[in-house]
Amino acid sequence: MTDILDRGARSPDREIRYAPGETGRVDVYEPEGTARALIVLIHGGFWRNRYDRLHLRPLAAALAEKGYLVALPEYRRVGDEGGGWPGTLDDIRSLARGARGLLGAEDARLTLAGHSAGGHLALLAAGAESEVDRVVSLAGVLDFAAAVRDGLSGGAALEFVGSDPAAVAPADPMQQPVPACEVVLLHGERDDEVPISYSEAYAAKDDRVEIVRLPGSHYQLIDPDEEEFSALLAALR
């Protein structure tokens, strides 16, 4: 099993703020030379504040080594003041809207890449922001109504929307238009945290959506030491 949740990584090259409060910060990992593109890398954790961005630092550092300018944000989550629906998504939308200016990369292609709940947020944010060029979802919770029905992670989806049935539809990528940008879904066939059927259902919505089925599990998709990292690099290109 991957140890990515506990593995250390180098510190970011700099930290910037995009919103007030403890969560309104972004770790920035910079490449040598001109960046291939700007990636906003959104961590998962089933929208709960017990999980933070630190476990994605190894991936952020590895992507910077491959030539990408990487922004790894924190954001309000369930348990934070203003977190949950819609505050959590508002943070990601705000960052997507201002990422190029915030990082001084006005001409860069912008990719939103998110893991698990981060994939869910990336898809929803890209649907509202025309500035986004590509979304890459890594084991994303893309069938939100199914996550509610299945009680995913002890009822995390209902916690996210505050047990409000009326919020399920706007929080569900399956019930929202597919973003106009490029959309690539990566999902492991042995994922026992987020079923691959969630990504398969989303891909079936529109033939513009590309799905890549991988042999690994949930956390192998964010481990730069695993073979799945090459599939992520291909999706980013």
* Structural domain contains residue 123: yes
| Residues 215-230 pLDDT 10s | 999 999 999 999 999 9
Domain of residue 44 covers 14-236
Model pLDDT, residue 171: 97
Quote the pTM value: 0.95
Please determine, for residue 161, whether its predicted confidence score (pLDDT) is greater than 70.
yes
Q: Could you tell me the CA-to-CA distances from 87 to 53, 83, 93, 160, 221 in Å, in that order?
A: 17, 5, 10, 10, 27
- How far is the C-alpha of 130 from the C-alpha of 125, rounded, in Å? 10
Please give the mean pLDDT across all residues of the chain: 95
Which two three-digit tokens encode residue 155? 């009822």
Please determine, for residue 211, whether its predicted confidence score (pLDDT) is greater than 50.
yes
* Structural domain contains residue 88: yes
Residue the block writes with tokens 């999706």: 235
* Structural domain contains residue 6: no
| Residues 128-140 pLDDT 10s | 777 899 999 999 9
How large is the average pLDDT for residues 114-135? 93
- How far is the C-alpha of 76 from the C-alpha of 49, rounded, in Å? 7
Please determine, for residue 1, whether its predicted confidence score (pLDDT) is greater than 70.
no
Tell me how many domains the chain contains.
1
Model pLDDT, residue 2: 58
- Provide the CATH number for the domain around residue 218: 3.40.50.1820
* Structural domain contains residue 5: no
| Residues 97-108 pLDDT 10s | 999 999 999 999
* Structural domain contains residue 2: no
How large is the average pLDDT for residues 186-203? 97
* Structural domain contains residue 120: yes
Please determine, for residue 202, whether its predicted confidence score (pLDDT) is greater than 60.
yes
* Structural domain contains residue 3: no
Strand order in the sheet with 14-17: 14-17, 25-29, 69-73, 38-42, 110-115, 134-138, 182-188, 210-214
Please determine, for residue 169, whether its predicted confidence score (pLDDT) is greater than 60.
yes
In this prediction, residue 199 has a pLDDT band, given cuts at 50, 70 and 90, of: very high
Model pLDDT, residue 122: 98
| Residues 52-81 pLDDT 10s | 999 999 999 999 999 999 999 999 999 999
* Structural domain contains residue 151: yes
